[in-house]
Amino acid sequence: MADGAEAMKYTVVLTAAYPPVAREILAGEFDVIEHPTEPQRTEDELITILSEADAAITLLSDPLTRRVLESNPNVRIIANHAVGYNNIDLDAARELGITITNTPGVLTEATADFTMALILALTRRLVEGDREVRESGRCIWEPLHMLGTSIQGKRLGIIGIGRIGTAVAARAKAFGMEVVGVRRGNSMDALLATSDIVSIHTPLTPETHHMIDASALAKMKRGVFVINTARGPIIDENALCDALESGHLGGAALDVYEFEPAVNRRLLSMKNVVLAPHIGSATLETRSAMARIAATDVHRFLKGQKPLHAVT
Ligand code: DGY
């Protein structure tokens, strides 16, 4: 890409409206085409909007399949505006020589904060309480009203002790929790059997797909709370609903869903469930930092430098 870079103006396609810093970094030197945000583009839609691109910044929901990656040989770099890249066929990208980058590091603290927010909202019944006050227009203090569960002294089981899992552990310890963790690939049985709260922080891979299925849920303590801020398909959502309905699970707080953007209808009417719209990293600071990383890597690549966060 470096050779001839002076002679030719590359086109960078933004598949969504990212924080303005992305355009600011790129617009001076490249043509930038920004498309409106579409949370669920089809392969064909993506092929159409990438047809003009030499480079792209993509959403975690953009299906970058082999067919899409093969559709325009001019595209040499794709910067995924996310730390996760399970939406991309990496083998195909490698074979086609397309560089893929992601945005690690900058969303660790925001996601860990949000995990704690979900743990507290769930165990202290915050969403239920909010709904009650809005619906009744009243606030009544009663000794036995809306009792939750204290987290102090409880055991938090963290599945996936990477950057985010470790940051969650530090916060949980500050709340007086006992923390146990497992790395990907290690046995989770002891963690599942002894944790009062289980929080998931692994990437979605073929190995972690449905890692929390009916059998894993059955191994958990009765009354356990399950938190997922990682990727929806790590949990078998129907099995989760069964375990919630049977009372085996005390509750669940989810920021991600198996068939995003769809949400399992069974979850919608459950009181002991907190449902967030995939906002674990959604602070202005964090999303801007993600956009800066993605755009900087595209800029570097098109200028003949190595991107800093390549995953292929
Ligand atoms: C990611 O970056 O993978 C997150 O899910 C976005 O919040």
The answer to whether position 264 is within a domain reads yes
Nearest CA owner, ligand 1 atom 4: 82
The answer to whether position 89 is within a domain reads yes
Decide the pairing of beta strands 99-101 and 178-182. Answer: unpaired
178 is catalytic: no
- Is residue 93 domain-shared with residue 136, that is, in the same domain? no
The answer to whether position 312 is within a domain reads no
Test site for ligand 1: of 103, 107, 286, most ligand atoms within 8 A of the Cβ = 107
What's the pLDDT score for residue 8?
79
The set of residues, in sequence order, having a beta carbon less than 8 Å from that of 181 and lying 6+ positions away, is 157, 158, 159, 160, 161, 165, 169, 191
Name the token pair of 65: 């399949």
Any ligand 1 atom below 6 A from CB of 84 = yes
Q: Which atom of ligand 1 is nearest to the CA of 81?
A: 2
The answer to whether position 218 is within a domain reads yes
- Is residue 148 domain-shared with residue 252, that is, in the same domain? yes
Question: Tens-digit pLDDT profile for the chain (312 aa)?
Answer: 545 445 579 999 999 999 999 999 999 999 999 999 998 999 999 999 999 999 999 999 999 999 999 999 999 999 999 999 999 999 999 999 999 999 999 999 999 999 999 999 999 999 999 999 999 999 999 999 999 999 999 999 999 999 999 999 999 999 999 999 999 778 999 999 999 999 999 999 999 999 999 999 999 999 999 999 999 999 999 999 999 999 999 999 999 999 999 999 999 999 999 999 999 999 999 999 999 999 999 999 999 999 999 999
The answer to whether position 309 is within a domain reads no
Structural domains of the chain, count: 2
The answer to whether position 1 is within a domain reads no
Any ligand 1 atom below 6 A from CB of 83 = yes
- Is residue 123 domain-shared with residue 228, that is, in the same domain? yes
For residue 137, what is the enclosing H or E element?
Answer: none
Domain hosting 243: range is: 108-275
What's the pLDDT score for residue 185?
79
Any ligand 1 atom below 6 A from CB of 228 = no
CATH number for position 220? 3.40.50.720
What's the pLDDT score for residue 6?
52
- Is residue 113 domain-shared with residue 62, that is, in the same domain? no
- Is residue 133 domain-shared with residue 251, that is, in the same domain? yes
Q: The whole model's pTM is what? A: 0.95
- Is residue 190 domain-shared with residue 46, that is, in the same domain? no
Query: What is the DSSP code (8-state) at residue 30?
Result: S
Any ligand 1 atom below 6 A from CB of 202 = no
Phi, psi dihedral angles at 242 (to 5 degrees): -60, -45
- Is residue 73 domain-shared with residue 137, that is, in the same domain? no
Q: Which atom of ligand 1 is nearest to the CA of 102?
A: 2
- Is residue 95 domain-shared with residue 200, that is, in the same domain? no
Any ligand 1 atom below 6 A from CB of 110 = no
Any ligand 1 atom below 6 A from CB of 280 = yes
What's the pLDDT score for residue 80?
98
User: How far is Cα 213 from Cα 235, in angstroms, rounded to an integer?
Assistant: 6
The answer to whether position 310 is within a domain reads no
- Is residue 119 domain-shared with residue 102, that is, in the same domain? no
User: How far is Cα 43 from Cα 9, in angstroms, rounded to an integer?
Assistant: 26
Catalytic option among 23, 41, 125, 231: 231
Centroid of ligand 1 to alpha carbon of 108 (angstroms): 10
The answer to whether position 232 is within a domain reads yes
- Is residue 116 domain-shared with residue 257, that is, in the same domain? yes
- Is residue 173 domain-shared with residue 268, that is, in the same domain? yes
- Is residue 98 domain-shared with residue 129, that is, in the same domain? no
Name the token pair of 261: 């953007």
